[in-house]
A and B are shown apart, each in its own frame.
Chain A
Amino acid sequence: MFAMAQTAVTGRVTDEKGAPVIGATIKVKGKPAGTQTDLTGTFHISLRVGDTVICSSIGFLPKHVGYKTQSDLNIRLAEDNKTLGQVLVVGYKSQAKQEITGSVASIKMDKVTETQAAESFESLLQGRIAGVNIQLNSGEPGASPAIIIRGLAAVSRDDASALSEPLYVVDGVPIISKTSNEFAITSTNVLADLNPSDIENVVVLKDASAAAIYGSRAANGVILITTKKGKIGKPQINFNLRTGVNFVPQLQDVAGGDKERQQVARLYQLYAPYGTFMPAMYTDVTNPFYHNSSDWQGYLYNTSVTQDYNTSIRGAGDFGQYSVSLGYMDYKGILFNTGFKRYSSLASTTFYALNKKLIINNTLAVARTDQSKNPGSLNTNYSALLPLPNNPMVAGSEVYQPGRLNNVNDRMRFSSDATLNLVKNLSFKTSLSLEYLRLMQDSSITSRRTLRSDNKSGVGENRNLLVQNTLTYAPTVGKHRLSLLLGQSAEKLESKITIVNNVSSAQTLSQTVNWPQGNSIGTSNYTANSLLSYFSRFDYSFDEKYLFGASIRTDGSSKFGAANRWGVFPSVSAGWNFNKEKIFENWKWLNSGKIRGSYGLSGTTWNNDYLALGIMSGGSLDRYNSLLQISYGGISGFTPTWYDGFKNDNLTWVKTNMGNVGMDLSMFNNKVEFIFDAYQKVTKGLLLTTALPTTSGYNEVYRNAADVLNRGLEFTLNTNMNLSKNLSWSTGLNFAYNKNRVTSLPDGNADIIKTSTSGQDFGSIVRVGAPLNGFFFYQSEGIYQAESQIPVNPKTGAKLLGLQNKTLQVGDRAFKDQNGDYKIDVSDRVYSGDPNPKWTGGWTNDFNYKGFGLNVVSTFVIGRDIVNSALLDRLKLGKSFAGATSLPNFDNYSIWQKSGDNAKYPTLNPWSGVSQIINYDSSYIEDGSYFKIKSVTLSYNFTKKMMPRLPFDRMRIYCTMDNVVTFQKYSGPDAELVNVDGFDMSGGYPMRRLMLFGVSIGL
């Protein structure tokens, strides 16, 4: 055996565009020797002819090159679109993807922002990650999407629907992602000020082992955002310009002009009590004011324009890196007076010092969002008989109230960190972050008749201060790779609001309150909480084959009394890269395979910072400014806050235990990737209020009382095929199954019946065994067609009594008297449906042919029950229905009028004491499944070759259609515009259809 002479050679590694790839690993097959490329992508190595060079780098597909001639060493690496970066940020550290043992998903944002447009990055993630259910349940510009990771784990109280919201971390710093209701002055999505184009990637920590390092705030999952940084090479200057048109979708069905008059006349003829006459607007046919067929929706909804411009410059070198970006978005809403604007700027720099021993990062993010709305909710359903505001007759009449409402959010976030490499493998990082978020709202509403204005101004300030210190020790000894992290952090979050409003006696053109005395009233409030944490994470891998990880975090929170202040959140996980075992050696098709499992504990808290401390109240002015509640004989003092002031010393974290097993497979030259996860999430001690006996003086006490179980499966399948030389097709399909169940409630699992503050007895029921927000409805048995069908109590001879003691009549809804007491009331409600989606997911497809690209994104929900409450609200006619609102065209709905009508809706008698149209009627539950083609993008990439005269490196033009088509069984407009509780709120704001044209240029 004799060896051929080795020669020292020089090669260069570039990406597909010819840019150098820095830090790529160069190895020779079968030999231990290896090297790395330098800043220019160049490497030096000794080779023999015939050697196989293996070149790999993060984010690229590895390449095997047989060395024969020098030209073979100009290696061009293809980007690895599938693994989406092999090193992921996983919470206080980065980890190679193949060593990750938790359930972690990652999305490269560039791919997304190139094909979709939205105000906030979360809505762009819809349908992209298995188990992350994102629903855009309002079409209003700047509205918050609902994000639920691995099933709902929050109990709705009062009238609001609760979401279990994840923790958001940007570049290692947890940010303010929402403000508690009391302090939320603006309704804008707080996260919409993050420009999606500034984001490099988003990592979602789904299971407890991944999230537990974030301890007390991680139970609902953690979303880690990494912003773009400069890359070594020549400075990259990018422009991305796009503009588009928002089209109005299908609106509500309205009976116009004469049809409305006929319908009203018919209702009066059928049901009006003796002596009740139609309002003048229906009878006074000679009055031109009432002689219209106005299309209010057509007037108030209009096609609008969206513009989105982003530019950035990024670069890096021996000094460090820099990245500066600017963004401007102007999204005009389709509804009159609505819209959303964002101005954003992000500057990030890195400096190396002490011979690269010290690395200093500074990030400054400044953004403003400006959401315009109509004060209150602008009705678009005025009677069609009334003249439109542009009609000269309308001057001075109270047809609609013009007004303005502006929500302005300003966020400034500065974070600075320094990493010091103390000795080999040991580094210390300290960081400081200051965040300031100001929310401002100014609104005015003017009566056209009295010319009086209502003005309100509010300012909310939120400040976040965060100090973090971590120490990392990561040695590699032979095949043993170890990583140990120790850390500490301290955080303080303060919120403050000031609101002033007035009712002026004269017309005012001001949107601010400028009446210094008299009829103006102001309030202010302040709240703060602080968190002190110590955490540690340990990861070990043997031969990259056997993986083990453990973490522990202990959090102390000011929200708890001193006795119950600290919580401990541990986790363990393990993984096995089984493809590296000998027995799988022959499975050439298998590129990688991993089985992993984890178990851990994480927590959540609540919004009210002082709940556990026993809040006292000094009383408040009553509405005539009397001090009756505040003082007695001029002496004022504190009393307990009777609602939530009963001090519960035992109040503690909501704890979530989660177990997860999963498998990652990559096959056929990484062309097919399959990921599977199964989890069980037990959330214990969700915060609930339970009523106290009145004799205690207190109303209720907060307790850690409800337990909820979520179980689910997640599947992800990614493929990347070359169908022919020029045509490639890649697809990503993910779907997740989740089942939600309440497992325990206080007081011997007694039902919790929430009485709605607005309604009669209507409100949801939380019951053990049923899912959260499960529908407990009256079971419909059709409509009474004859008097004889109304059940009669054989003992008393009394007829069945309807809801709210209504005497039932023919044409009324027949509800089943479940308990046989001949009275329909709350106790007759039975479980009738589940608004939690069983299956959620998404499917993306990319076709590339030469420079052309076609991208299709779809999302779906399967197995969800929803209620078409938007229509029901319009059919609920009260005594004064005539002229109050527009009416749907009754011909389109089957409404009972006379015996024998095979109708879906009972009689619409507006004079009946109790409406027969109620939301809690089982017959209105519909299948809420849908499949939505969310966006379709056609793009074309120019190359330098094609445009030799243009001074660009890169240019791409594209056209995107957003909200393309929805396939659904649901009879309402859009099965996605439904809140978490399953009720259709599309009476609010429909989802626009967008046609967007864009060009992106790289210099």
Chain B
Amino acid sequence: MKNKVIAMFLLVIMLAETSCKKWLDEKPINTVTEDQAWKNGTDAEGAVAAAFAIFRRALSGLTKEDTPATTRNGSWGDYYFWGDARSGDWITPNNDGDWGAGFQNHLIQRTELEPLTNWRLFYRTIEQCNLVLEKIPAITDNLTNERKAQLLADARFLRAMAHFYAARIWGDVPVNLKARNVEPLGRKPLAEVMKMVVDEVNIALPNLLWDNKGTIKQSRSRGTKGAALALKAHALMWLKDYQGASDAIKEIINSNNFTLVPVNQFRDLFDNGESKEVIFEMYYDNTNGEYADYYGHIMTYYLTNPYTSRDNLSLAVAKSKILEIYPDYARDKSDKRVPEFFQSIDFSVSSSELRPIFADPLQNGERNIMFAKFRKVKDRSYSLMQAPVPVFRYADVVLLKAEADARLGRVPDALDNLNKIRSRAGIPLFTRDDAPTVIEAVLAERRRELIGEFQRSYDLVRLGRLHEFNSYITAQGEKDGAGFFPVSEEAFTNNPNMEQTYYWQFNQ
């Protein structure tokens, strides 16, 4: 009896011990842990896509979920505020104080503008790319070497892109090329950042494709050779390496992968992103459930009824400014871009009805012209947007090459490219051939062609000429860094190496 009991007892102990081995491996089922997240090809595809998803939100601004310090209720389409708002072309017809402060470069004064100064999502994009570059090389399951190389190149491209975009906004920015890097990083000079961008693009280029799988939008909302070359060219323009920029764009042109589409195909370009002119854009599409909310897309503020449920224009270009920017249209209504980019709405009709659009785009008064370059909404009642957000397009790089060539003294090449854009718009060819005039003409053309496409402010800041167009910025101010955004308070937390931009140490 006693022996039986002891035998039973030992058996129980043994069973208990063997079943305990796995007892402590408790993993979540509603998400995964770091150990589980990097196992196979699907994980790799997802991780790279996730990096692009973060970058998309970085451009449309921090949301309440992204930072508890955010004082406003969601994002604002920050890419517009960085790239266009301060160019001097814009007004806020209903005198919105936040917009006004943005136009006037009062970027610290208002707490509501704090998210515009916060680069957190750029560095989240960068960290996600860093993790991808660290983890994916070890993945073999369900991932071919060829695809692996493409994904790594894609992440490398995006990491360079995020640094580039941040440097255009803040000037000197920290460079983070290491995963889980919690060191307090200081800011690197802008030129060093741009140099790094070029180097990284050169590493990524061989493994990038001219076109990824899928529709144009799917293909060109991820890293491609074209996107990488455009990024390289832009970075080189900041480095004043015009030869390099011109060469990079030459590769784009010679690929014959891109075309300048006729003006009547602009809806495909701006609304659907399905156009041969697209080089790199941020993916938005309702069919995949990826659309911006009320706050996320800057279109919310350009558009009103009949496109959205809003009554009043919040952002607009003044009528006189339009006539100044488009002198050909002012003269003989020849510039075909004006009716594509601007509309006049019959505001006399009650807001409860769909308001008619006047045939004459500039029929309305000074402060009542709608900027309608992008106007694809998902759902009028909630003002949900789904037009892609352009980053680079063919017309942009063609004009960029014109500027580079003009600066290199290759005026005929410059004129050739400039006139491609002018002739598509239906305005007379440019014929003067002294380089400085041509450079000015190219800049004016970039302003006309790319208005509201998040390029104008960067062009002016790159050339140190923002103060010429924005009366709130002085020449000395711009030298001190007024053209760049101030660094948010949060960046100084636990980072003794962080420094505020000189201008913003003394200005609000």
Contact = CB atoms under 8 A, between A and B. Distances in A.
B359 interface: no
Interface string A597-624: 0000000000001100111111110111
Nearest to B68: A757
Nearest to B6: A422
A637 B222 CA distance: 15
Interface string A613-643: 1111111101111111111111111111110
A836 to B, nearest CB: 28
Interface in A487-507: 488, 490, 492
B350 interface: no
B431 interface: no
Contacts of A618: 31
Contacts of A641: 31
A631 B491 CA distance: 28
A635 B494 contact: no
Contact of B23 (A492, A620, A695, A697): A492
A170 interface: no
A632 B296 CA distance: 15
B251 interface: no
A697 B124 contact: yes
B49 A632 contact: yes
A696 B176 contact: yes
A692 B182 contact: yes
A35 B214 CA distance: 93
Interface stretch (A527-535, A900-908, A942-950): A527-535
Given A694-B118, A694-B123, A633 B24 contact: no
B9 interface: yes
Interface string B19-55: 0100111111111111111000001011111111110
B16 A631 contact: no
Nearest to A637: B46
A695 B12 contact: no
Interface in A681-714: 690-699, 701
Contact of B13 (A469, A532, A616, A617): A469
Contact of B182 (A524, A559, A620, A698): A698
A319 B34 CA distance: 56
B53 A626 contact: no
Contact of A420 (B9, B30, B184): B9
Given A630-B53, A697-B120, A616 B293 contact: no
Nearest to B490: A694
B150 interface: no
Interface in B234-276: none
A690 B495 CA distance: 12
B95 interface: no
A562 to B, nearest CB: 8
Interface stretch (B126-134, B189-197, B201-209, B409-417): B126-134
Contacts of A747: 494
B24 A532 contact: yes
Contacts of B185: 693, 695
B384 A556 contact: no
B373 to A, nearest CB: 22
Given A637-B48, A640-B34, A626 B16 contact: no
Interface string A540-574: 00000000000000001111000001000000000
Interface stretch (B84-92, B225-233, B282-290): B282-290
A617 B218 contact: no
B119 A694 contact: yes
Nearest to A610: B28
Given A639-B54, A696-B127, A626 B293 contact: yes
Nearest to A558: B26
Range of interface residues on A (Cβ < 8 Å) = 35 or more
Given A626-B291, A692-B494, A613 B27 contact: yes
Interface in A368-384: none
Interface string B103-127: 0000000000000001110011111
A647 B35 CA distance: 10
Given A490-B23, A556-B24, A617-B31, A633 B288 contact: yes
A430 interface: yes
A420 B12 CA distance: 13
A189 B68 CA distance: 30
Nearest to A757: B68
Contact of B53 (A559, A628, A699): A628
Interface in A391-438: 420, 422-423, 428, 430
A636 B174 CA distance: 28
Contact of A532 (B23, B27, B53, B131): B23
A579 to B, nearest CB: 42
Contacts of B292: 626, 628
Contacts of A696: 123, 127, 176, 180-182
Nearest to A621: B289
Nearest to B34: A614
Contacts of A490: 16, 20, 23
Interface in A476-493: 488, 490, 492
A637 B182 contact: no
A246 to B, nearest CB: 41
B57 interface: yes
A918 interface: no
A699 B243 CA distance: 41
Contacts of A628: 53, 56-57, 290-293, 296
B81 interface: no
A636 B46 contact: yes
A556 B26 CA distance: 12
Contacts of B18: none
A693 B183 contact: yes
A693 B493 contact: yes
A697 B33 contact: no
B299 to A, nearest CB: 15
B324 to A, nearest CB: 37
A559 B35 CA distance: 14
A634 B48 contact: no
A265 interface: no
Contacts of A625: 289
A881 interface: no
A622 B176 contact: no
Nearest to B186: A695
A828 B30 CA distance: 45
Interface string B468-502: 00000000000000000000101101110010000
A613 B35 contact: yes
A631 B27 CA distance: 24
B53 A616 contact: no
Contacts of A635: 45-46, 49
B165 interface: no
Nearest to B287: A634
A646 interface: yes
User: Interface centre among A531, A638, A696, by most B CB within 10 Å?
Assistant: A696
Contacts of B20: 490, 532
Interface string B279-314: 000010000111111101000000000000000000
A616 B384 contact: no
A693 B495 contact: yes
Contacts of B498: 693
Nearest to B185: A695
Contact of B127 (A428, A631, A697): A697
B221 interface: yes
B419 interface: no
A559 B33 CA distance: 12
A971 B491 CA distance: 44
Interface string B138-174: 0000000000000000000000000000000000001
Given A526-B28, A526-B29, A616-B34, 9 more contacts: A422-B2, A467-B16, A492-B26, A626-B291, A627-B288, A631-B53, A632-B49, A641-B31, A695-B491
5 contacts: A467-B16, A528-B28, A626-B289, A638-B50, A694-B491
Q: Which 9 A-B pairs have the closest CB atoms?
A: A637-B46, A697-B127, A614-B34, A558-B26, A635-B49, A637-B50, A613-B33, A632-B53, A627-B289
